[in-house]
Amino acid sequence: MTEQQARERVAKLSAESPERETHSWIAREGADGNWSIVKLAVPSPKAQTTTTTQPGENVAAKDDPRSPMEQNIPPWSVGF
């Protein structure tokens, strides 16, 4: 399969396949120079999670192991 044929097939699968909601396709060149189609699973939008923060909550400070005093020292003053 040539690159052009592979890209055309990818476009057709992306537009017409009944699996287009759950899968994606890409054209890939093999070590021998021939092109093939790779089918990839697409994660479900329901599987994605989001996090929310409350007003005034400092998210960055939660994961920072430094003390509040160390967090507030500007970088230009370190070492003086």
Look at the chain and report how many structural domains it folds into: 1
Please indicate, yes or no, if residue 79 is contained in any of the structural domains: no
Residue 71 belongs to some domain of the structure = no
**Do the beta carbons of residue 25 and residue 38 sit within 8 Å?**
yes
CB count within 10 Å of CB 25 equals 19
* Within-domain flag for 12: yes
Residue 16 domain-assigned (yes or no) = yes
Q: Which domain holds residue 37?
A: 3-42
Residues forming a β-bridge with 39? 25
Q: From the first residue on, what is the mean pLDDT of each consecutive set of 10 residues in the chain (80 residues)? A: 93 92 92 94 71 63 72 63
Six token digits for residue 76? 């230009």
Q: State the pLDDT at residue 71.
A: 73
Which pLDDT score, from 0 to 100, does residue 45 have? 67
Q: What is the pLDDT of residue 72?
A: 72
* Residue 35 near residue 1, CB atoms below 8 Å: yes
Look at residue 21 in the predicted model and tell me its pLDDT: 87
- pLDDT at position 39, please? 94
Identify the pLDDT of residue 50. 66
In a domain, residue 60? The reply is no
